[in-house]
Amino acid sequence: PYVKFWLGSGSEQDSQKTSTINNDLNPRWNAGPYNFRLESDDDVLHLEVYDEDTFTSDDLLGRLKIPVFSIVHGEPNVSVWIKDQLEDTAHGELEIELSYCPEAFMGA
């Protein structure tokens, strides 16, 4: 599987994704960091987990939406671990580490 993610204020075309981990029901990506330019503190991070298929379209395994408000108004540059059940599936969870780094895009 792999995870595709984007901010709600952007578009799915602006999405980023992890690498695919094959033949694993409990993948650990340990990827990143991935950076997004945050336009509003009421934005939502969308994450979708897919099973990659070679000859057919990839299968959606579940999704998760994370409001960034509490992270943005928390302590800057401090990681927050979030672990939650995936939506649109009977089983599955996603655990991610997020942080708000206000200086990441300064001068960019």
Tens of pLDDT along 10-63? 888 889 999 999 999 899 999 889 999 888 999 999 999 999 999 999 999 999
Q: Which phi-psi region, left, alpha or beta, contains residue 6 (left: φ > 0; alpha: ψ -120 to 50)?
A: beta
Q: pLDDT at position 46, please?
A: 96
For the chain, give the number of residues. Answer: 108
pLDDT of residue 106: 58
Tokens 């602006």 sit on residue: 14
pLDDT, one tens digit per residue, over 51-102 is: 999 999 999 999 999 999 999 998 999 999 999 999 999 889 999 999 999 8
99 contacts 79 by C-beta, under 8 angstroms: yes
